[in-house]
């Protein structure tokens, strides 16, 4: 992985799906590192599209549970992943709305339970494979900010800017707690810390696409950085990598 500010050799190579023209920023990292928040703000400031890949895993797990699938039914979840009927939308005020098979599930997929279920289906190779083409299809002009665990390693290996955003486990648990409380959801800090540790362990130790920085990712530790400071850092790196957007 590159040190902060170090340039990488990513020239105009074709992306894994053959596109050469769309600028892509990948933001990977563990649960609660602030990836989602940062990716959303950066995408909005640049006027680019945004891929929240974690939402796709959450949706697959939710659809599986709703259909009564056993949590370890890989074939069943893979089928769902391939045919997922989902619409991402946003209110004029930026509030996200996600529709699964015509039913709004925006709040349901954001619970810790949905996150843990997502982490379990995300360990299934055929589920990951089933979501690959759908994720790559988000690479549309004028650009894409993709948030997840394997955006820079597997889904968009030729992205020109790869960020690996991290923070201490304690800080991540605190942020998650605040996020849930702000949404009016119940939360317990000690339980959240344990859940985050378990999710980190599962996401980092799985055989396929484990959570790890791409070799050419820039690691940003946001433990003692404000959201604004992280956004500024990513935009500064983006301006250097994508000069036409300056
Ligand atoms: O980012 P998130 O908390 O919404 O992700 C939920 C789970 O989905 C996470 O525990 C791991 C999995 N995930 C993944 O394996 N690969 C991704 N690109 C995104 C999420």
pLDDT digits (tens, 9 = 90+) for 132-167: 999 999 999 999 999 999 999 999 999 999 999 999
- Residue nearest ligand 1's atom 12 by CA: 119
Confidence (pTM): 0.86
Q: Please tell me the distance from the alpha carbon of residue 88 to that of residue 97, in angstroms, as a whole number.
A: 6
Q: Select, from the ranges 3-17, 29-43, 139-153, 195-209, the one with the highest average predicted confidence (pLDDT).
A: 139-153
Q: What is the mean pLDDT of the chain?
A: 88
**Per-residue confidence (pLDDT) for residue 90, from 0 to 100:** 78
Q: What are phi and psi of 80, to 5 degrees?
A: -60, -45
Once rounded to an integer, what is the mean pLDDT over residues 212-237? 96
Does residue 120 have a pLDDT over 50? yes
**Residue 101 backbone class (left: φ over 0; alpha: ψ -120 to 50; beta: rest):** left
Q: Using the 8-state DSSP alphabet, how is residue 112 labeled? A: H
How distant is the alpha carbon of residue 68 from its chain centre?
Answer: 26
Ligand 1 atom closest to the CA of 31, numbered from 1: 3
**Per-residue confidence (pLDDT) for residue 149, from 0 to 100:** 93
**Per-residue confidence (pLDDT) for residue 3, from 0 to 100:** 38
**Per-residue confidence (pLDDT) for residue 152, from 0 to 100:** 96
Q: Are the CB atoms for 210 and 134 separated by under 8 Å?
A: no
- Does the N-terminal peptide bond of residue 142 adopt cis geometry, omega within 30 degrees of 0? yes
**Per-residue confidence (pLDDT) for residue 133, from 0 to 100:** 95
Q: What are phi and psi of 62, to 5 degrees?
A: -65, -45
Q: Both ends of the chain: CA-CA distance in Å?
A: 25
Q: For the chain, how many residues are written? A: 246
Other C-beta atoms lying within 10 Å of the C-beta of residue 243 = 8
Question: If pLDDT is split at 50, 70 and 90, which confidence band does 4 have?
Answer: very low
Residue percentage of the chain with pLDDT more than 70: 91
Sign of CA dihedral 141, 40, 199, 80: negative
Lowest mean pLDDT among 63-72, 121-130, 172-181: 172-181
What is the CB < 6 Å shell around ligand 1? 31, 53-54, 57-58, 115, 118-119, 122, 148-150, 199, 203
Once rounded to an integer, what is the mean pLDDT over residues 217-241? 96
**Per-residue confidence (pLDDT) for residue 246, from 0 to 100:** 47
Domain ranges of the chain: 24-238
Q: Using the 8-state DSSP alphabet, how is residue 212 labeled? A: -
Which CATH class for the 24-238 domain?
alpha beta
Question: If pLDDT is split at 50, 70 and 90, which confidence band does 222 have?
Answer: very high
**Per-residue confidence (pLDDT) for residue 96, from 0 to 100:** 83
**Could you give the C-alpha distances from 42 to 35, 149, 206, 230, in angstroms and in order?**
10, 18, 29, 10
- Residue nearest ligand 1's atom 10 by CA: 119
**Per-residue confidence (pLDDT) for residue 14, from 0 to 100:** 46
Once rounded to an integer, what is the mean pLDDT over residues 48-69? 96
| Residue from 30, 57, 108, 164 to probe ligand 1 pocket by mutation (most atoms less than 8 Å from CB) | 57
Ligand 1 atom closest to the CA of 155, numbered from 1: 18
Question: If pLDDT is split at 50, 70 and 90, which confidence band does 210 have?
Answer: confident
**Per-residue confidence (pLDDT) for residue 19, from 0 to 100:** 52
């Amino acid at each position: 992985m590159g040190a902060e500010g170090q340039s990488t050799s990513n020239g105009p190579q074709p992306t894994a799906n053959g596109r050469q023209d769309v600028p892509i920023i990948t933001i990977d990292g563990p649960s609660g590192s602030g990836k989602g928040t940062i990716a959303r703000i950066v995408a909005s400031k640049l006027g680019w599209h945004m891929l929240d890949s974690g939402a796709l895993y959450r949706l697959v797990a939710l659809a599986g549970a709703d259909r009564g699938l056993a949590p370890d039914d890989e074939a069943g979840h893979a089928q769902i992943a391939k045919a997922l009927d989902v619409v991402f939308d946003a209110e004029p005020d930026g509030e996200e709305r996600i529709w699964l098979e015509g039913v709004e599930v925006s709040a349901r997929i954001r619970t810790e339970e949905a996150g843990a279920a997502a982490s379990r289906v995300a360990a299934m190779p055929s589920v990951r494979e089933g979501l690959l083409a759908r994720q790559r299809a988000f690479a549309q002009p004028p650009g894409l900010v993709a948030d997840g665990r394997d955006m820079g390693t597997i889904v968009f290996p030729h992205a020109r800017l790869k960020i690996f955003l991290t923070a201490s486990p304690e800080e991540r648990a605190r942020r998650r707690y605040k996020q849930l409380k702000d949404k009016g959801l119940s939360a317990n800090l000690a339980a959240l810390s344990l859940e985050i540790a378990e999710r980190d362990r599962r996401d980092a130790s799985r055989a396929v696409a484990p959570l790890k920085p791409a070799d050419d990712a820039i690691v940003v530790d946001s433990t003692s950085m404000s959201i604004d400071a992280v956004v500024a850092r990513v935009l500064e790196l983006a301006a250097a990598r994508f000069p036409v957007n300056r």
